[in-house]
Amino acid sequence: MAVRLRLVALAALGLAVAAVLALAADAVFAVERDLKSPTAAVDPSPGLRSRVAVSLLDAGDDRELRAALLLFEQSRLPGASRQAALALHGEAEARLSELAREGGDPVRRAQAANLSGILLYEDALLDPPSAARYLELSLGAFREAVKLDPANEDAKVNLELVAGVLREREERVAGQEGSVGDGGAGSSPEGSGY
């Protein structure tokens, strides 16, 4: 009788373990499908099943990156106002900044910092009166990306491009300040002709 009881207990334990493994596998494959679909909506509060699978895959960072990219894509939809685009960028930048600070893997953190720099550059184009501030923030994000992952060529190229834009901007401002009041070429406001 004791042997039979042990066999039943082992069989029940085996079934329980198999059920847990099946649920975990199902959740892992569900998250894997979700991660492979770049346009899939991200549930802001995933259920327990999804949280378990994300923990098993350590895919949380990827989900945050994708969520930020979806916000950016929403900002580019036809009919999105400048203010709406800036608001969506702000939300995406907040997610990316947190990921760049606390994302674990330096390569993933560098990707987040690089994407944040791109969004900040876009903000400079969307909000010309605040462009200098956005460009400085963008430059800082690209520097952070290169620091986190020196092999990130995209971040290096972006860093050089934004540094060049800032240099040109500073030279243009310095040129305008130097020509004020001399009555020569360049003393008229930009775009006013000869």
Tokens representing 121 are 């550059």
Residue-range domain boundaries for the chain: 12-38, 58-178
pLDDT digits 0-9 by tens, 87-118: 888 888 888 888 888 867 898 889 889 989 98
CA 57 – CA 182 distance, rounded (Å): 66
Q: What is the DSSP letter of 189?
A: P
According to CATH, the topology of domain 58-178 is 1.25.40
pTM: 0.59
End-to-end CA distance of the chain: 106
- CB burial class (10 A; 0-12, 13-18, 19+) of residue 7? exposed
pLDDT digits 0-9 by tens, 113-126: 998 998 899 888 88
